[in-house]
Every structure is written in structure tokens, then in C-alpha cells.
Amino acid sequence: MRAVARRSSFLSCLAVSVAWATAAPAQTTYKWSDIDCGQSRIASWPGLKCEATNVVTAEGNVGSFRRWSTYGHTSEGYNQIFLWEVQDSFGFINTSETTADFLKWFYANGKAATRFSPVARFQNADYSTFRDGNYVCAGFRRTGEQRRGGYSWILGGILCPPLGRSLTNDQVAQFMDRVRLH
């Protein structure tokens, strides 16, 4: 009789576990929310706003990911910083697209970005200058630790100085140095 009761209890627990697992489907769509910049993985500075997404699970539940963004206008111009990071030990992010394609993809005005310069290298990042209408901007892509077929994170930044001002190589380097993660 005890064996029947234990088996019945085990099967009940198993059924509840399976029901719970199927009742909580994986999040597969990114949803952006405003956050306090102190909660961001991106080290922000005054004048910028911060956002983050929910954690999203890749198809087949292999890898979970989150995105972070910091953006706004400062005395240096328009700044936009983007982080896409893996949230577990299974996933990875690849860099199969060109630096220009990555910058167009995450930049808020990416569809207007044209005339990308050849990619240059500064420390551990690729960068390029480009045009956004009358603005001359610079953007970079930096990657985290290598894992499997990609990286643990990809960080990107865009700096567009105020209209009529140009960017020097020193300003681009200073911007790239300033972008940090918490």
C-alpha cells in the first residue's frame, strides 16, 4: 500500500512539473523598457537615457539573451550605445555581418546611414565613420570573450557630433575608451 502511495505521489509531482514547464513558454520576442541608468550593464553618463529588454530564449531553448541601450544628446553630440549579451553558458552571438551592417542594424537612424569608411581597428574594437544626412558620425563594434561559434557579448557605439562639427581620430578614440560595462 505504501509503495502505491509513493508511486502515486511521484506521478502527481511529475505531472505538476511537466504542466508547469509547458505552461511557461520561452520568451522569444524582445520588449524594450525604460530603466534607471544605474541598473544598466552599460556605464552611462549624464544626459543619456537607458533601456533594457526582457531575457529572450533562442529557438529550441538553446541560449538566452538580453539587450541594453543608452542614448541621447550631450555636448559632444548624439550618443547611442548598444549591448547584446548572452545570459547563460550555452548561447553565443556571432559576428557574421560586416561592421557597417551591424552599425546600421542597431543605430536608431541606421536606414539613413551611408558612405561607410573602410573598417579600422582601435585597441579591441572595429570602427568606421559614416554619413547620416549632413552629419558625419563614427561607430564601433567590440566583442566579449570567445565561446563556441561566437562571443559572450557584442557592444556597439555611435557618436554623431552636432551639425557643422567634424570628428577627429582622438575624439573617436576617447568615445570608444569611455564606453564601458558595469
Question: Where residue 58 falls among pLDDT bands split at 50, 70, 90?
Answer: confident
Q: Which residue has the higher pLDDT, 35 or 134?
A: 35
pLDDT at 15 over 60: no
Cα 47 to Cα 18, 79, 96, 100, 139, distances in angstroms:
48, 10, 33, 26, 19
- Quick one: pLDDT at residue 62? 74
**Distance in angstroms (rounded) separating the CA atoms of residues 140 and 172:** 9
pTM: 0.82
Give the whole-angstrom CA distance, residue 168 versus residue 61: 45
> How do the domains of the chain map onto residue ranges?
27-178
**Per-residue pLDDT reduced to its tens digit, 134-150:** 999 999 999 999 998 89
Quick check: 41 pLDDT over 50? Answer: yes
